[in-house]
Amino acid sequence: MEEIEHLKTRLADVVHLNHAAAVLGWDQQVNMPPGGAPARAEQLATLSRLAHEKFTAEETGRLVEAAAAQVDGLDYDSDAAALVRVVKHDYELATRVPAALVAELARLTSQAHEVWAKARAEADFAAFVPMLERILDLKRQEAEALGYQERMYDALLDQYEPNMKTADVERLFDELRVELVPFVAQVFANLDAVDDSPVHKKYDIARQAEFGLKVIERIGYDMARGRQDKSVHPFTTEFSIGDVRITTRYIEDWMPSALFGSIHEAGHAMYEQGSNPAFEGTFLAGGTSLGVHESQSRLWENVIGRSRAFWGVFYGDLQKLFPEQLGDVSLEAFYKAINAVTRSLIRVEADEVTYNLHIMLRFELEKDLLEGRLPVRDLRDAWNAKMEAYLGITPPDDGRHGVLQDVHWSSGLIGYFPTYSLGNFLSVQYWNKALQDVPSIPDDIARGEFGSLLGWLRENIHRHGRKYWPAELTERVTGEPIQVGPFLRYLKEKYTDIYGL
C-alpha cells in the first residue's frame, strides 16, 4: 500500500494546516482581544492559502490517481478504498472552482458582512439588496464551475450534503408542509396550555455553567478530549479526534439557551470524538455531512434533553441549585416550560415544532433567488408572505425579526439551511432504530445511564467518520432513505400530549 502511504503523508500536511487554522479561529472567538483582529485575519488567510495550494496542486492529483489504481478491486468497505473515494471527491470539488473566483468570493463576503450587520441593525433591507445581488451572481458562477445535472442549487447543496438533490429536499418539505402547517396553527390556538415563565426567571450564570457541564459530562462528552468555553455564537471545533472543543453563550433570564445549547454542541462534539482513532490526521475523520452532524446534536438536545425521562434524572439537582426559581415548580411544569411553543419570528429562538418551517421558508427563497425566479428586490415581500402563510405572523421589522436576521446569505452560505431540517428528520429516524436494536435504552436513560445509546451511535454512526456518504450511511443504519414521516409522528405525539390537543 505504498501509494496510499504517499497520499496520506501529503494530506497530513493539509490536515495539520487546517487544524492549526482552526486553533487560531477558536482563539479569535474565545480569547483574542479586539486589537488582534487585523493580524489574525492575515494569519488565517495565509494558513488557508497554504492548505489550499498544497491540496489542489497537480502532485496531489497524481498521488490520488496512483492510490486509486492501487485500491482498485479492494472491498468497498475497506478504509483504504474509502479514503481514496473521499479524497478524490474533495480534490475534484476543490480544483473545479478557479482560484480567482474563490478569492473574489472571500473578498466580497467579508465586505458583505459589514453591510449586512449595519442593515440588520437599522432594519434597512434596501441597503443590503445590491450586495446580495453581487453575492448571488458569484454563487451562480461557482455553481456553474462545480457543475450540476438538473438544478443549479444541486451544486451548492452538494457541498454541505454530498449527493443530496434539490428535488429530494423539495419532496421532504412538501410532505412536512402539508402536515405541519395545520398542526402549528392548532398548537398556536392553545398556547395558554403551557406556562414558560419558570425558565424566564433570573438564573445565576456561574451556576448555569456548573450544571450544564455536569450534564454534558454525564451524557458522554469526554472532557479529557474536550473543553467548554464562552463565545458570542456557540460552536464546536476540532483540532484532532483527541481535542474537540465546544462553546456556549449564557443568558441570565432565559436559562434554556445555554443548557440546551451546551447539550446541542456536545452532541456535535461526541460525533467528532467518536471517529475511528485510525482515521486521525486523515480526511476520513469527522462527520460525513452537515445533516448527519445536526442529527447528532438534535438527538441529544431535543429527543433526549427535552424528554420527561431525562429530567426525571436531573431535575432534583437543578432544583437544589436554584431553589428560589424552581423550588415550587413541579417536574411536569418544568418539562412543559422547556418545551413551550412560541410565536417566534426568529429562527435561532424557535422551538422544535416551528423550527423546520423557518428552514423551509429559507430553502424555498434561496433556491428561487439563485435560480433566478425571485429578484432580490422582492425578497422581503416574499419572506413576509411566507411567514404569514406558514406561521400566521408578519415580522414587525426587516432586521432581527425579519429577512435580515441570519448571517448565512451575507457569508455566501447558500444551500446550507436545509441541512438543519435534514438533521431533525434523521435524529428521529436514528433514534427509532436505536430503540429497535437496544430496547433497554429508555430504561437506561431513566436511570441516568446514557452509555447504551452513545455506544449504539458510536458503533453505527460515529466510528465511520466520513467513510460513507450521508445517504449510504442512513441506508446502512436504518435500512431506509431519509424520511420525514417518523419526525412528524414524534412531533405530533409529543406536542399533542404537552398541549392537551
Backbone dihedral region for residue 301 (phi beyond 0: left; psi -120 to 50: alpha; all else: beta): alpha
The DSSP H or E segment spanning 17 is: helix 2-30
Decide whether 287 or 465 has the Cβ nearer to Zn ion: 287
Q: Which is nearer to Zn ion, 265 or 366 (CB)?
A: 265
Q: Which residue is nearest to Zn ion (CB)?
A: 297
* 3-class secondary structure per residue, 35-60: HHHHHHHHHHHHHHHHHHHHHHCHHH
Q: What pairs with residue 240 in β-bridges?
A: 243
Cβ-based nearer residue to Zn ion, 279 or 355:
355
287-325 as b/e, with b when 16 or more CB fall inside 10 Å?
A: bbbbbbbbbbbbbbbbbbbbbbbbbebbbeebbeebeeb
- To Zn ion, the closest distance from the beta carbon of 496 in angstroms equals 27
| DSSP one-letter string for 378-416 | GHHHHHHHHHHHHHS---S-SSTTSTT--STGGGT--S-
Residue whose C-alpha cell is 443504519: 477
Query: What letters, b where the CB count within 10 A reaches 16 and e where it falls short, cover 251-261?
Result: eeebbbbbbbb
Q: Which is nearer to Zn ion, 56 or 297 (CB)?
A: 297
Contact between residue 86 and residue 284 where contact means Cβ atoms under 8 Å apart: yes
Q: Return the number of the residue (297 or 339) whose C-beta is nearest Zn ion.
A: 297
User: Closest distance between Zn ion and the C-beta of residue 263, in Å?
Assistant: 11
265 is catalytic: yes
DSSP conformational letter for 272: H
Interacting residue ranges for Zn ion, rule: CB under 5 A: 297
Query: Shortest gap between Cβ of 427 and Zn ion (angstroms)?
Result: 11
Residues 273, 408: contact at Cβ < 8 Å? Answer: no
Q: Is 40 exposed, middle or buried (0-12, 13-18, 19+ CB in 10 A)?
A: middle
Residue type at position 146: L
Nearest to 480 by CA among 409, 437, 432, 442: 432
Q: Which is nearer to Zn ion, 235 or 314 (CB)?
A: 235
CB of 236 to Zn ion, least distance (A): 8
Is 87 within 8 Å of 94 (Cβ atoms)? Answer: no
CB of 105 to Zn ion, least distance (A): 24
Shortest distance (Å) from residue 260 CB to Zn ion: 11
Q: Which of 238, 265, 272, 352 is catalytic?
A: 265
CB of 264 to Zn ion, least distance (A): 6
Question: Any idea what DSSP says for residue 164?
Answer: -
Residue closer to Zn ion, measured from CB, 297 or 452 = 297
Catalytic residues, by residue number, are 265
